[in-house]
Amino acid sequence: MIFSETRLPGAYLIEPQLIQDERGFFGRTWCAETFIAQGLNPELAQCNLSFNHRKGTLRGLHYQIVPYAEAKLVRCTMGAIFDVAVDLRPDSRSYLKWFGAELSAENRLMLYVPEGVAHGFQTLRDCTEVFYQMSQPYEPLAARGLCWNDEILQINWPLAVSEISEKDCSYGRLSAALRLDDCPEDGKTAERCAV
């Protein structure tokens, strides 16, 4: 596997090294020893599939808080996505910065998203499937999210949003969350994401 660190410390684009012959190819997409050697979390607690009917579908931006903070390894097994990671680690040099890359069935790239970094994606084609490997199981009480079109982040999503869940649209804006004195006790704001 070829690991290329993104502008977010600890977040990597990973490309499988393919061994090809007349039958096709073979390549490794995950190896605990290799991840340890790269300083990445090798834990594997859960694997998830996300199938999306329409291009323009947006999922995210999601993360879990400590002690359930999760690392993710994301790859697109059918179709294509614009995959995004947002650094929420206050001590990071890339705090509140984002990184995005196209992952597709053809390019076979993967994105490793470390703990403390939110994740989301937008489908670039109809009938797109995404496969996630998670270091922690989903814990509903620890699940959090960011508004996909937050003005502080200014993520350049490639398409108009065709589908988004009510839950993903309910996440408050960072501008309110960062002004703790203006933020209600539950951490949410009346200002919502508008599609």
Residues marked active site are found at 62, 132
- Residue type at position 121: F
Beta bridge partners of 165: none
Cα–Cα nearest to 30, from 134, 105, 137: 134
Q: 106: helix, coil or strand?
A: coil
Instruction: State the Cα torsion 55-61-64-70 to the nearest 10°.
Output: 60
* Dihedral sign (CA 86, 88, 93, 97): positive
Extract the tokens encoding 176: 């309110």
Residues 50-81 as b or e (16 or more Cβ within 10 Å = b): bebeebbbbbbbbbbeeebbbbbbbbbeebbb
Extract the tokens encoding 37: 């050697």
